[in-house]
Amino acid sequence: MVGTGGQRVDATDRLYLSADIPTLLIWGEADPIIPVSHAVEAHGHMPGSRIVTFPEAGHMPHLDEPTRFADTLLDFVEQTAPASFSPERLGEMLRRGEGGVGS
């Protein structure tokens, strides 16, 4: 996905499909590979997602700040209802396309 020439994959046009899936984005603000701005943009395309950034962490916040990472993840799991899946809802979202959620 990321090589010496930069990022080759962009899922922005599909992130709306995560509207019914609880999503936690944990990102290192000092990530030299994929900038935190990508997380902020993704968060903006993912209704209901939560974003937490670690100012001192790089590309692997789970290794740079394992205790904070674990605490953040446990908090998310404890406070978030599980996803419910509906093939009909997914089909509707796909038919409506980008921005179809709430349109």
Domains, the chain:
2-82 (3.40.50.1820)
Distance CA 12, CA 14 (A): 5
For 15, the 3-state DSSP assignment is helix
> Tokens for 31?
């990530």
Kindly give the residue spans of alpha helices, DSSP state H, lying in the chain: 36-45, 61-64, 66-79, 87-96
pLDDT of residue 8: 59
Q: What is the pLDDT along the chain (103 residues), one digit of tens a residue?
A: 556 665 556 777 778 777 888 999 999 999 999 999 999 999 998 888 999 999 999 999 999 999 999 999 999 999 999 988 888 888 888 888 865 444 4
pLDDT of residue 83: 87
